[in-house]
Amino acid sequence: MNKVILFSPVGGTDPISETNLQDGSLLHICRFYHPDKVILYMSKHILEKHHEDNRYLYCLDRLYEKLNRTYEYEIIERKDLTDVQVFDYFYNEFKKILADIRNSMDESDTLIINISSGTPAMKSGLLVLYTIGEYNARSIQVITPTKRMNEHRHSENMNIEEIWECNIDNEPDAENRCVEVKCPTLENITKEKIIEQHLKAYDYAAAYSVASSMDSSLTKEYIDYIVAARERNELNYKKARNAFSKESAREIFPVVDDKYIKYFEYIQNLIIKFRRNEYADFIRAISPVILDLFIMLLHNKSGTDVRMYFTKKNNVDVWDENKLNCTDVDRILCAKDPDCHFYYNFIKSDQLCFLIDKMLSERSVIQLVKTIRDVEQKVRNLAAHQIVSINGDFFKKTAGLSAEEMCHKLEELFSLSCVQLSSKAWDSYDRMNDFIIQKMRNNNS
């Protein structure tokens, strides 16, 4: 219960380097991690050294005496192992050994791996197994005292007792040179690549689903931003904006004025539907924003605020006959329908389009409004009332312009009705995605 188990190949500088008289990796990890059990993997050459003077266990025994602790050990002997540079062998060998160790542990135990001892093939085999997520363990690297590659020097008559007494790391203020390797597993690398793909496809629900399946310690630097992106895509833009710092929010949310932000974010949402090829949802959703922007455009360009002629009916804006009576707006609307079929009821975009045509003088603005209204009439009404398959070709054939061109028309309408924006402003979702992706990459650097 609650045991710390160390698996360690044994290398040329273990247990103590004869070059610098400091701990080799095996002894140094034990000095600072105090494993309850040490499993030593010995090749033919190392095993000969072990039988010669018991150097590895001697130093471990002395260390644990110094620590006033006890430990148990196990030696995995490979008496015939001489080809110690073959990566494939150690990959398969260590995979089985580590699986057996894990099977012998309970959930409260901790496995630590020494990836600094042994040959390069041994170290690589262990690190690759860790990277692809073959075992749940903490991989420990020990930095050399000189901060460069160890020199291997083996005297014929090594006196292990004397070397232990001269070991610099036995001093009370000895430096801890252990570093826990935070290399992400292949599974996590793959998942983060999938998250990145979902972000670039503006599928924030899917991105969050993948991120939430990972260990929270791996996603803590960026998962809240994915949640914010999902909130923004659901038009909870104020909540989303609060997740970002002020500096980042200025880049990601170019419109902050409460009077206009909801229209900007709504059009951005429409643009995302187009980019995700959700043409039916795109066209069905354009009417509310068109109606409001037509009202605002008329006010900005002519000074006429038609909202003063509205009243509420079942919490919905409708024309108020008493307020309209004998006004220019009333005369224009009645003139639109000589047969007197204009009823004082729901406000419609075709009525506003007619008002704009009669009350504004800028032909380019009038033409923009008529084009947008024409698309709404031709495609939106068809999509809303019939079961039809809507794709890019259908949209262009029916509307006379592409969905992308329609997006640009809506952007232009916003600039005329609300606030002038550069074309760069409409790429704010891409900047948000780039911000999150950079956070993911920084998290792994």
Whether 64 and 176 share a structural domain: yes
Helix residue ranges, H only, 170-278: 186-200, 204-212, 216-219, 223-233, 237-241, 246-252, 261-275
Say what the pLDDT of residue 197 is: 96
Average pLDDT over residues 164-186: 87
Average pLDDT over residues 332-346: 72
Residue type, 298: L
Kindly tell me if the per-residue pLDDT of 152 is higher than 90: no
Kindly tell me if the per-residue pLDDT of 343 is higher than 80: no
10 within domain boundaries: yes
Say what the pLDDT of residue 86 is: 76
Say what the pLDDT of residue 134 is: 62
In 3D space, the residue among 380, 335, 346, 362 whose CA is nearest the CA of residue 417 turns out to be 362
Whether 143 and 50 share a structural domain: yes
- Which of 180, 203, 234 finishes a domain? 180
Whether 207 and 144 share a structural domain: no
Say what the pLDDT of residue 344 is: 74
CA distance 223 to 232: 14
Structure tokens at 384: 């809303």
166 within domain boundaries: yes
Whether 115 and 190 share a structural domain: no
For residue range 243-282, what is the model confidence (pLDDT) as tens digits? Answer: 999 999 999 999 989 999 999 999 999 999 999 999 988 9
For residue range 46-99, what is the model confidence (pLDDT) as tens digits? Answer: 999 999 999 999 999 999 999 999 999 999 999 988 887 777 788 888 999 999
Whether 168 and 200 share a structural domain: no
The pLDDT confidence band at residue 149, using thresholds 50, 70 and 90, is very low
240 within domain boundaries: yes
Average pLDDT over residues 326-336: 87
Residue ranges making up the domain that contains 300: 261-420
Structure tokens at 151: 């020199």
Residue 367 CB: number of other CB atoms within 10 A?
A: 11
Say what the pLDDT of residue 333 is: 87
For residue range 37-48, what is the model confidence (pLDDT) as tens digits? Answer: 999 999 999 999
Whether 133 and 241 share a structural domain: no
Say what the pLDDT of residue 147 is: 53
Say what the pLDDT of residue 289 is: 94
Kindly tell me if the per-residue pLDDT of 148 is higher than 80: no
Structure pTM?
Answer: 0.66
Say what the pLDDT of residue 84 is: 79
CA distance 268 to 108: 50
289 within domain boundaries: yes
For the chain, give the percent of residues with pLDDT over 90. Answer: 65
354 within domain boundaries: yes
User: Do residues 182 and 212 touch, judged by C-beta distance below 8 A?
Assistant: no
145 vs 165, higher pLDDT: 165
Say what the pLDDT of residue 137 is: 84
Domain count, the chain: 3
Structure tokens at 276: 């995700």
Average pLDDT over residues 402-431: 95
Show Cβ contacts of residue 363 under 8 Å, excluding neighbours closer than 6 positions: none
Q: What is the mean pLDDT of the chain?
A: 89
Average pLDDT over residues 282-298: 93
Say what the pLDDT of residue 80 is: 87
| Residue 187, SS3 per DSSP | helix
426 within domain boundaries: no
Whether 132 and 198 share a structural domain: no
Say what the pLDDT of residue 268 is: 97
Kindly tell me if the per-residue pLDDT of 383 is higher than 70: no
Average pLDDT over residues 90-114: 91
Say what the pLDDT of residue 338 is: 63
- Which of 129, 163, 180 finishes a domain? 180
Average pLDDT over residues 422-426: 92
Q: Which residue spans within 64-187 are E strands per DSSP?
A: 72-77, 110-114, 138-142, 178-180
Say what the pLDDT of residue 37 is: 97
Whether 58 and 163 share a structural domain: yes
Instruction: Choose the weakest-confidence range: 13-27, 71-85, 177-191, 338-352.
Output: 338-352
Say what the pLDDT of residue 205 is: 96
CA distance 303 to 298: 7
Say what the pLDDT of residue 260 is: 95
Residue type, 345: N
425 within domain boundaries: no
Say what the pLDDT of residue 445 is: 59
User: Do residues 186 and 131 touch, judged by C-beta distance below 8 A?
Assistant: yes
Whether 142 and 196 share a structural domain: no
Whether 307 and 206 share a structural domain: no
Whether 296 and 209 share a structural domain: no
64 within domain boundaries: yes
For the chain, give the percent of residues with pLDDT over 70. Answer: 92
Q: The domain spanning residue 135 has which CATH number?
A: 3.40.50.10770
Whether 235 and 265 share a structural domain: no
